[in-house]
Amino acid sequence: MKQTQQQALQIAIDGPAGAGKSTIAKLVAKQLNLFYVDTGAMYRAIAYKALKNKILLEDELNVSQIAKTTEVVLDHSDERTVWCDGEDVTHAIRSPEISRAVSTVAAYVGVRDRLVELQRREAERGGVVMDGRDIGTHVLPEASLKIFLTATLQERANRRWLELVKAGKNVLFEEVAQDMQKRDRQDIERKVSPLEPAQDAVILDTTGVSVEEMVAKIVALTQEDGR
């Protein structure tokens, strides 16, 4: 059966940690009745499994090998729960330890190849909003709309710190900011699918802008150029 224009709509939202990708992508998906694919959670699940199995994060061969046999499943009924080989890891993958580990794991070709395969499979099921760091440049290069969100380091670190505090984590703001700055550098400098805007991406700065305003901007963009 031929997909309708709405069912075929693919929105790629990229940007650095703390730019608001997940929050905004979820709300855009809800407003447009599309499925939200949390790619960051999928990479976090691989990092979680590697640490759980006491694999050194610097051991690219073994980390990539474990990724090839790992099943990461997003719950389509609530778009929140993340399963890793049958284990609910929704909360475990949001710890500071996983945040520090995920960029190292995500830089490996074997890990990215496996997860890109799974992410594209999700997109084939129908209209999606997918957020990450290389969605518009690599995962969905033919996406209907490509967005690149950014914000100052101070703003992004403060958002992440507040999230962790609200979740009951005892962390210092300075620690979160340092971890985020390190992750930015790793994401930008990695050889495989580095963090950068697609040539045809719309760049939006979320600093000082409410989530509601940003969601409205993106939804409005879907109405342009016959998207």
28-78: pLDDT as tens digits: 999 999 989 988 899 999 999 999 999 999 999 999 999 999 999 888 777
Residue 190: how many CB atoms within 10 A of its CB? 18
What is residue 74's predicted lDDT score, i.e. its pLDDT?
A: 86
The pair phi, psi for residue 202, each rounded to 5°, is -95, 120
Per DSSP, the residues of 71-127 read -EEE-TTTS--EEETTEE-TTGGGSHHHHHHHHHHHT-HHHHHHHHHHHHHHHTTS-
| CATH class of the domain comprising 10-217 | alpha beta
pTM: 0.79
Checking if the pLDDT of 6 tops 70, the result is no
Strand ranges of the sheet holding 10-14, from the earlier edge strand across to the other edge: 35-38, 128-132, 10-14, 145-150, 202-205
pLDDT, averaged across the chain: 90
Greater model confidence, 4 or 9:
9
Residue 76: predicted pLDDT: 73
168 vs 48, higher pLDDT:
48
Report the pLDDT value the prediction gives residue 193, as an integer from 0 to 100: 80
Predicted pLDDT at 101:
93
How many Cα neighbours within 13 Å face the side chain of 144? 23
Q: Is the pLDDT of residue 166 over 70?
A: yes
Mean pLDDT, residues 143-161 taken together? 96
Mean local confidence (pLDDT), 115-134? 88
Q: Which of 44, 32, 218 is nearest to 133 (CA)?
A: 44
pLDDT at residue 1, as a whole number: 35
Q: What is the pLDDT of residue 97?
A: 93
pLDDT score, position 89: 97
Is the model more confident about 148 or about 127?
148
